[in-house]
Every structure is written in C-alpha cells, then in structure tokens.
Structure 1
Amino acid sequence: MCIISSKMKSYITEALSNFFFEYETPRQVLVRNRRVGVVCRLIQLGVLAYIIGWVFIYEKGYQTVDIAIGSVFTKMKGVAYTDISGEERVWDVSDYVYPDQGGESFVIMTNFIITDGQTQSMCPELPDGKNTCNSDADCTKGQFKRTGNGHMTGKCVNTTNTCEIMSWCPIEDDRTIPNPPLLSVAENFTLFIKNSITFPAFGVVRSNLVEGVDQRYIKKCLYDPDEHQLCPIFRLGDIVRLSGFNFSQMAGVGGAIGILIEWECNLDLSLQRCIPKYGFHGLYGNAKEGESSQASVGYNFRTAKYYMEDKVEKRTLMKIFGIRIDIVVHGLARKFDIIPTLTAIGSGVGIFGVATVVCDLVLLNLVPKKDFYKNMKFKYTAVQDEVPVIQLDKEDQEKE
C-alpha cells in the first residue's frame, strides 16, 4: 500500500509540475510554394486593410459612443401688413405663429380664409356640389353627411339646392384660396434657433452658440451654407429654398419642412471642433408634384376666436395655410476607450486565421503534392493499450 501511495503521489506531483511549468505550442511547417505564399499574403493584406481602414479609420472602433440629449428654443421675427376689402391690419409674431411657446415644432401662417360673425343658427349648406338636394326627402332630419358642416333640419333650400343645417352660420366658403398669398411677405421673416445638447456619458455640454457666435455676430449675420454656416438666424425664404421647394407655391397652400441639427463630435480632439451642421429637408408641399393629382394639397388647419355680442356668442373662424417647421436634433460623440480598442484588435487577429484555413485547404486538397504535405503536417502514431497502474503494482509485489 505504501508503494501505491508513493507512486500516486509522484504521479500527481509530476502532473502538477507539467501543468504549471511547461508550455505547449503547435508544430509549424514551412512550405515553400509561391502560389500558396502569395495567396496567404494577399488574404492577410486584405484582413489588415479591413482592420485599419474599416474598423479603425471609418468605424472608429477604438472609441466608445454616446448619444446626445438636446433641447430646442425658437423665436420668429417679422411684421406683415394686409388690406382686405379696405380693412387694414398688421400681423405680428403673436398673430401668425402657432403655437407661440417657441418649441421645436410650429406653424408659420402664410395664407388664410377668414369667416367673420358666425353664430349658432340655421342656414343652407355650401353649394359646392357635395351636399345637393332636390326635395326634403334628401335631407333626413337629425342626421349629418360626412361632407357636410352640421345637422340637417329636414328642409331643402330651393335657392341653393342644398340642405338646411344647424351649425355655425354663415358656412365657411373655402372654394377659392387667395392668390397671391396674403402673407407673402413672410418670405423675409427670420427664425432664431437656440439648441443645447449634452453627452451624459462624457459630461460634455454644448450649444449652437459656439465660440465666435456672440451678440455682435448675431445682430448682423444671416445663415448661409457657404459663408455663415454657424449663424443661428435663418430667413424663412432661404429655409424653403434650401429644402428644394418654391416659396410662393408653398405659401399659398402650406407645406412642411424638417430642419436637422446634426452634431458629430470627436472628443479626442479640441472641444471647439464640436459644432452643429444644419440640414433642410422638404417633407411635403413639393412644387414638382402635380397638385391636381393629389388627394390633399399642402398643410392647413382651422382655429376660432370666440366673443360675445349683444349677449350672443359669436366667433371668427380662420382656415390657416402655413409652413410647418419640425426641428430634429441628432447628436453623436466619440471618445477613445481601451476596451473597444482591445476588442477590435482581438477580433482582427482572429480574422487573420482565415488565411491559414484557406491555404491549408489549397495545400491538402488542390496542389499536386497534397499527399506529401499531409505527411509533413500530420504525424500519425499507433496508440497502444495502457496497462492499469494497479496491475503493475501487483506484479511488482509478486516479484518482490
């Protein structure tokens, strides 16, 4: 038993010693074959170009990324004048901007149809061809038509050949849109955009009022994509033009434009190089589209102002055609980080193994001396059956 225990102890000690103090490396076979060598180097060169060009230079795999959190504040400036049927009026920001809170989405009124003095009463439907009638039977009392403007009273008005309805009367007549637009001067209105962003992962806060954009500069600048790329004041006509639309046509029936404020910041460089870029994109209202083929042209909505007159509630209804502005902020910051760097390097080193796999397939299967290369690469040995250790110990005891 003592002999068995001593041999087991020796076996365990040797195994531990081999595990901790020995190093194993695969056998390398040097093959002098020009074609295979060229293929191997070309594949390795391609992998190296991918790692350097795509992973590190283009995708910047050595940096970590953070997405910005931003806010937008806007302010319009400009005054318009109208003279409609001898009624003169001046329109300021409070009159033509909806809503007036200065958010990132708002509408600038450029044209309108106004209906004064509406009251809750009985009147005939608008004779627009959508609600015609020949007799009272065509006007079912208490019902309304999808194309109508109120509840039918059951009477057909002979003078208009339309149903009598209970609604806000007189009914709005929007069959003719003013042309040219009543607020065509809006082309010269200016929009001031103030944008602030933060990259919480890096603790960086930036504003579009960057270095050099001070009060003196703002008072005289106007955005220009070539000369004043950082000016935060935009002429409405320029916004429409840069989005690819025609202002006079868009002002007539309305439309929508998206303004993209894009931040691409490399925080490994100077923070002053983290500046915004403005982009303008027409969403709908394109002058190139055939208006007659569209189901709904432009952008419009209705709003009303209510008041009391002789104890009777009245309202002034306005159908507003305007340019809707939607401001979107997209921010992305990058900064060096050792973890993604090591991950990119490790994945690249792993891809280098593709060259070895391809060359092995060529050597072992396609070249004329494939059998010779197989013998050089693989070593074949016959494994003999091992005799159990306990049996050897018993034979030693018998000899003793």
Structure 2
Amino acid sequence: MGRLSDCFSEFMFEYDTPRMVLVRHKKVGIVYRLIQLGVLAYIIGWVFMYEKGYQSVDSVVSTVSVKMKGIAYTNEKNNSRIWDVADYVFPHQGVGSFVVMTNYIETAGQKQGNCTKDGVCKSDSDCEKGKSMEGENGILTGKCVEYKDTLKTCEIFGWCPLEDDYHIPDPPLLMAAENFTMFIKNAITFPRYGVSRSNVVPFNKSCIYHKDTDPLCPIFRLGDLVTMAGFDFRKIAVKGGMIVIGIIWDCDLDWSASHCNPTFNIHGLYGVDSLSTPGYNFRFAKYFVEDRTEKRTLMKVFGIRFDIIVLGMAGKFDIIPTMTTIGSGVGIFGVATVLCDLLLLHFMQRRNVYKSLKFKSAEDEGEAQMITVGGREKATRE
C-alpha cells in the first residue's frame, strides 16, 4: 500500500520543467544543425512551396456542354445513306456523357409473328411452350418445325425476322467518325473566391486540340482522342469502347485569374489488353405502321462512349492556414532537440555527466541539499 501511495504521490505532485544546458560538442552540434536544416528545407520546400500551406482552398463547381460536327456515308446492301449528328450521337447533345456511333447491325421490317431460330430439335417435346430463350427476342411456341430442308428447329413468337448479331461489320461502317470533331464548352466557378472561368477563350475556330502546340483549343478530333486514350481507332470502332475526358482546373489565385486554365487528361476505362469484355453497344428501335401492321427497324449500335469529368481546386493566401503551418513547422524543430538528447544521454562516452547536468530534482518543503546519486542530482531534506 505504501508503494502504491508513493507512486501516486510521485505522479500527482511532481512537475517537469525544461532545463537549458549548453553543450559544446562538435559532432552533436553538427548533427543538431543538420537536422534543423533538413526540417527548415522540408517546411519551406515541401509545405510552403509545393503543398502551398499558406493558402486556403476551394473546390470547383462546373457545367459542361458538347457539340459534335461531321457527317458519314454508308452504302450497305445497296442502301445509300448519310449520317449526321442527329443520327449518330446518343442521347442528344448537351450532356457530359454520350455515345458516338461507329458501327451498327440493322434488322429492318420486323413484325410480331412466328419464325424459326438457330438450334436443332427432334420433336415438339424439345421445345417447351412459353419458355423464353436467352439472347432471343421471343418465346417458344412449343412446335418443332422444318428449318433449311433437312433440319428442324424450335419455332418462336416474337419480332421476326430475328436479329443476326453474330457477324459484326468489319471494317466498321462509320470509319468516317475518326474525323468527326467535338467542341467541349466548360464553365466553372470557385464560389468561395467569386472567380468564374471558361475554357472557351478567344481562339481560332479552325484550331484542333494538341497537347503541345494548341493545349487550350476546345475542339477535339475523335481520332486524336482515341489515340490519346491508348487505343487504335480502327479496332475500337468495330465493337465500341469507353473513354474518359478529364478537365482539370488547378488554379493559384494569388496570381491573375487569367492564368487559371484547364488541362485535359484522356484515358480509356479498360486497358488495351484487358481480360474484361471490351466494347460498348446498345439497341434501339424505330417503329412504323405499314399495311395496318406495326413494324420496326431494330438497330444494334456499337459506339464510343465519352464521359466528361471536371475536377478542380483553387488556392489563395489566407493568414489562418499560414499561421497554422508556421506553428506546425516550429513544433517540428523540436525533433532536433529530442534526437540530440538521445545521442548525448545514451550513446556518448560521457553520458552520465550529461545526465547529471540535464536532470535535477527539487522539493518545495524545508531546506534541501543537492547531492549526486548515480550521476543524477537529487534534493533531500535535512
């Protein structure tokens, strides 16, 4: 119990106060200054210059609109056709995520009725009535009917004739899409600082974006975007793909707002050698009535999906983060003292002498006489 009381007394009634000891030692002095120099370089170089610890920051608020230009010509099965923006962009222009069609499979004149499908059957029992087949646009009628003279197949009820999507056109039908142009209009604001900017600055309307020669031009050639994403347009146009266009605003508002301009980062959402299923496609139908019968033209569209993402941060001088950073830096300087104390008190030959100079103990009751015990000065009452 007495020992516990002594421990409690030492914990409750002792107070540590720093003691200044001047030590003249070349090695320790050099280590001390080198550590201080390293801390100072870190604070000035990294915290202030690189991380801009003297600034407060604000996130970007933005809006994006896109306009496509270009036409394509196809002549599939002696059916000549011109494709313009209204035909090959889905959905309509003006959003930050859209698809540009590069290839398609067209199934014209479909109407609801009975037709045959691929696959072989021997009797009606092989065709379960009412069952829907995966990948087919109908349900089984329960009949096994003749197909291609010697073969029989299950009959289905659905949109006939059935779509044949096993043979994808190659080369892609809209190879001309490589030369389509995309105009990206991006307006942003940093509400905390009341600064608004746009990527549409005075520019030559015939310019085409190039990261080195024309990095601020808002007009992009589709073939260039695909190349910058790491793909070959000829290959990706067959089955489609997905590409992200990142617009990055990194602004230092301690300078004029005219220096606040975007940079573009273009990359694909999967690698060239990705094991995941590549491509991008969807279907839509155009309905019409012919001879009082509803019909449709089914389109399976392969295209490049573009997702436009805007990221941004602005910084400006602020006294509060500046003082906080300075205070943190001053605190880090204490690392030099801690390390040098460890060196002096535990690794130097005269460590016991340094300990006796570094640590003292004093009592506030009665008269005390300072004596040295084990290299450390302590006070005892007479």
1:346 is paired with a residue of what secondary structure? Answer: helix
Q: 2:61 aligns with which of 60, 65, 69?
A: 69
Contact 1:254/1:285 (8 A) holds in 2:
no
Partner residue in 2 for 1:180: 171
**2:234 aligned with 1:248:** yes
Q: 2:125 aligns with which of 122, 125, 137?
A: 137
**2:47 aligned with 1:55:** yes
Per the normalisation by structure 1, the TM-score is 0.83
Higher helix share goes to which structure? 1
Distance 2:363 2:96 in 1: 79
Q: 1:273 aligns with which of 246, 259, 284?
A: 259
**2:85 aligned with 1:104:** no
Measured against aligned partners, the alpha-carbon deviations of 1:51-88 in whole angstroms (never above 9, x if no partner) come to 11111111111111111011110000011111122211
Of residues 150-159 and 314-323 in structure 1, the stretch that sits farther from structure 2 once superposed is: 150-159
Contact 2:216/2:262 (8 A) holds in 1:
yes
Partner residue in 2 for 1:375: 356
Partner residue in 1 for 2:328: 347
Distance 1:247 1:54 in 2: 42
Distance 2:59 2:92 in 1: 29
Distance 1:175 1:360 in 2: 77
Q: 2:25 aligns with which of 20, 24, 33?
A: 33
Q: How many residues align?
A: 348
Contact 2:168/2:238 (8 A) holds in 1:
yes
Deviation at 1:385, TM superposition (A): 5.1
Q: 1:321 to 1:46 in 2, by over 3 A?
A: same
Contact 1:250/1:285 (8 A) holds in 2:
no
Q: 1:310 to 1:268 in 2, by over 3 A?
A: same
Partner residue in 2 for 1:120: 112
Higher strand share goes to which structure? 2
Deviation at 1:295, TM superposition (A): 6.3
One-letter amino acid of the counterpart of residue 158, structure 1: E
1:121 is paired with a residue of what secondary structure? Answer: strand
Per the normalisation by structure 2, the TM-score is 0.87
Contact 1:62/1:336 (8 A) holds in 2:
yes
2:39 is paired with a residue of what secondary structure? Answer: helix
Partner residue in 1 for 2:139: 151
Measured against aligned partners, the alpha-carbon deviations of 1:222-277 in whole angstroms (never above 9, x if no partner) come to 11112111111111111111111101111111111111111110000111110011
Q: 1:324 aligns with which of 305, 319, 322?
A: 305
Deviation at 1:296, TM superposition (A): 3.2
Deviation at 1:36, TM superposition (A): 1.3
1:161 is paired with a residue of what secondary structure? Answer: strand
Query: Which protein is bigger by CA-based radius of gyration?
Result: 1
Partner residue in 1 for 2:74: 82
Partner residue in 2 for 1:397: none
One-letter amino acid of the counterpart of residue 128, structure 2: T
Distance 1:344 1:85 in 2: 71
Q: What RMSD in Å do the two structures reach over aligned CA positions?
A: 1.7
Q: 2:284 aligns with which of 303, 306, 316?
A: 303
Distance 1:133 1:324 in 2: 40
**2:338 aligned with 1:357:** yes
Distance 1:204 1:177 in 2: 50
Distance 1:195 1:156 in 2: 59
Distance 1:100 1:177 in 2: 25
Distance 2:179 2:245 in 1: 18
2:210 is paired with a residue of what secondary structure? Answer: coil
Contact 1:68/1:332 (8 A) holds in 2:
yes
One-letter amino acid of the counterpart of residue 248, structure 2: E
Q: 1:132 to 1:149 in 2, by over 3 A?
A: farther
Deviation at 1:135, TM superposition (A): 2.1
Deviation at 1:35, TM superposition (A): 1.5
Q: 1:285 to 1:113 in 2, by over 3 A?
A: farther
Q: 1:332 to 1:381 in 2, by over 3 A?
A: closer
**2:257 aligned with 1:258:** no
Partner residue in 2 for 1:366: 347
Measured against aligned partners, the alpha-carbon deviations of 1:128-162 in whole angstroms (never above 9, x if no partner) come to xxx44232111100111224331111012231533
Unaligned residue ranges in structure 2 (runs of 5+)? 1-16, 368-382
Deviation at 1:178, TM superposition (A): 1.0
Q: 1:200 aligns with which of 191, 198, 205?
A: 191
Distance 2:345 2:57 in 1: 45
